[in-house]
Structure 1
Amino acid sequence: MYWSGIAQALMWKQFTALGVLQYPNFLETTLQIIPFYIIRSFGGLLYFIGLFLLVYNLLMTAKNGSFIKNEEAEAAPLEKENDKMKRGQIHRWLEKRPVKFALLSLIAVAIGGLVQMIPMFAVKSNVPTISSVKPYTPLELQGRDIYIREGCVSCHSQLVRPFRSETERYGEYSKAGEYVYDHPFLWGSKRTGPDLMRVGGKYSNLWHFLHMEDPRSMSPGSIMPRYPWLYTQSLDISTTEAKINALRNIGVPYTAGYEKIANEDLQKQANEIAQDLINNGAPAEPDKDIIALIAYLQRLGTDIKAKNSASIK
Structure 2
Amino acid sequence: MVTNTVEFPYRRSLGPVIGTFVAALARGQILGVRSGERVLCPPLEYDPDTGAATSGEFVAVGPVGTVRSWTWVGEPSDRHPLDRPFAFALIQLDGAGTSLLHAVDAGGEGAMRTGLRVVPRFRAEPKGHTGDLAYFVPEGAETTDAGVVDGAALSPVAGGEPGVVLEPVETMEFWSSLTYREALSAASERYARSLLAGRLLGQRCPTCGKVYVPPRDFCAIDGIPLGEGDDLALPDRGVITNFTIVTPVKYPGQKETEPFVRVSVLLDAPDGQLSESGSALMGLQPVVDVTNEEVRVGMRVEAVWLPEAERNTDELGNRGWGSTSGALTGWRPTGEQDLSVERYIDRVF
TM-score, normalization by structure 1: 0.24
Higher strand share: 2
Higher helix share: 1
* Higher radius of gyration, 1 or 2: 2
TM-score, normalization by structure 2: 0.22
> Bigger relative contact order, structure 1 or 2, given CA contacts below 8 A and separation 6+?
1
